[in-house]
Amino acid sequence: AKSEGRNLYRFFEPGMDAMVQARRALEVDLGTALSRQEFDLDFQPIMNIASGEIVGAEALMRWHSPERGMVAPDSFIPVAEETGLIVPLGEWALRKACTAAARWPAGLRVAVNVSAVQLKSGSFARSVISALAFSGVPAGRLELEITETVLMDESEVVLRTLRQLRELGIRIALDDFGTGYSSLGYLRRFPVDKIKIDRSFIHDLSNRDTAAIVRTVIGLGAELGITVTAEGVETEVQLDILRSNGCTEAQGFLIGAPSKAAEIQRLLRSRAPH
């Protein structure tokens, strides 16, 4: 009983208490944010390196909280995943992204980030099909970005869902490639259409070893017949290195920062393939 008491005391130590409370408050605010329409999507352009044309854009979620200001997705997505809010929130994002893409020039693709929690929910394929039907965007223009955490537990639901989506013509991109434990293993077991090299590699491209890794990943993509996109491209030097090594696509501040739907629509109309 004595040690129990001490554990309880430890659990409720002042600093911890404050952390737990802050976290609870975030969960509460997040819980009402969707119905209060506090979320929005920005879109970041993706360029084909060889042609210089913009071939699509990635939807990135934004939370404008009246109390907190702009909250970064890296801080609210994990909370939304734990509370399950990511399921309706992700569904909202899919619809919103497809609705935006419906107004882009034909052929331009829209990429949407998908959490492991969504894929495990069992209703995911249905909500994707519904978003496409609702917007009138053909499946071939939708790309779903998943990270390795999606593939880590090889649940039957996830596998079946990914297969079903690919059969519809939807593309699957492996996001943040190279940051996980077993990127190559997943590549062997799961059919993907695209690899997105994590921006930490691009940031460190002046390092000889990092450059060698990036070259190898680009070569791997070519061998496997899949698209390779470099994330976080910020300088002409980086773009030149990627171009001379045959990297397919680039995304990053150099090509364009994430921007509002109306703005990206203008950009896409002026820089799309003719």
The residue ranges that bind Ca ion (CB under 5 A) are: 113, 145, 175-176, 231
Q: Is residue 238 near ligand C2E by the rule CB under 6 A?
A: no
Q: Which is nearer to ligand C2E, 29 or 198 (CB)?
A: 198
Whether the Cβ atoms of residue 28 and residue 248 lie closer than 8 Å to each other:
no
Amino acid at 197: I
Q: Is residue 175 near ligand C2E by the rule CB under 6 A?
A: yes
In sequence order, the 6+-apart residues with CB closer than 8 A to the CB of 162 are 119, 146, 172, 190, 191
- Residue 219 partner contact from Ca ion, ligand C2E, none using kind-dependent CB cut-offs of 5 to 8 Å: none
Q: Which stretch binds ligand C2E (CB under 6 A): 19-27, 111-119, 159-167, 181-189?
A: 111-119
Q: Strand, helix or coil at 259?
A: strand
Q: Is residue 183 near ligand C2E by the rule CB under 6 A?
A: no
**Chosen residue from 72, 133, 237, 262 binding ligand C2E by CB under 6 A:** 72
Minimal CA–CA distance to 58: which of 109, 117, 132? 109
- Residue 258 partner contact from Ca ion, ligand C2E, none using kind-dependent CB cut-offs of 5 to 8 Å: ligand C2E
Whether the Cβ atoms of residue 157 and residue 123 lie closer than 8 Å to each other:
no
d(CA 98, CA 119): 18
Q: Which is nearer to Ca ion, 31 or 78 (CB)?
A: 78
Q: Is residue 248 near ligand C2E by the rule CB under 6 A?
A: no
Q: Which is nearer to ligand C2E, 150 or 218 (CB)?
A: 150
**Alpha carbon 169 to its chain's center:** 19
* Shortest distance (Å) from residue 113 CB to Ca ion: 5
Q: Which stretch binds ligand C2E (CB under 6 A): 109-117, 132-140, 163-171, 209-217?
A: 109-117
* Shortest distance (Å) from residue 86 CB to Ca ion: 14
d(CA 225, CA 194): 9
**Chosen residue from 30, 46, 115, 201 binding ligand C2E by CB under 6 A:** 115
Locate tokens 């390196």: which residue? 49
Beta strands 54-65 and 39-48: pairing type?
Answer: antiparallel
Q: Which stretch binds ligand C2E (CB under 6 A): 10-18, 70-78, 119-127, 129-137?
A: 70-78
Q: Strand, helix or coil at 246?
A: coil
For the stretch 31-70, what's the b/e string if a residue is b when 16 or more beta carbons lie within 10 angstroms of its beta carbon?
A: eebbeeebbebbbbbbbbbeeeebbbbbbbbbbebeebee
The residues in 122-161 that bind ligand C2E, with binding defined as CB under 6 A, are: 145
Q: Which positions lie near ligand C2E, rule CB under 6 A? A: 44, 59-61, 72-74, 77, 90, 93, 113-115, 145, 175-176, 199, 232-234, 252-253, 258
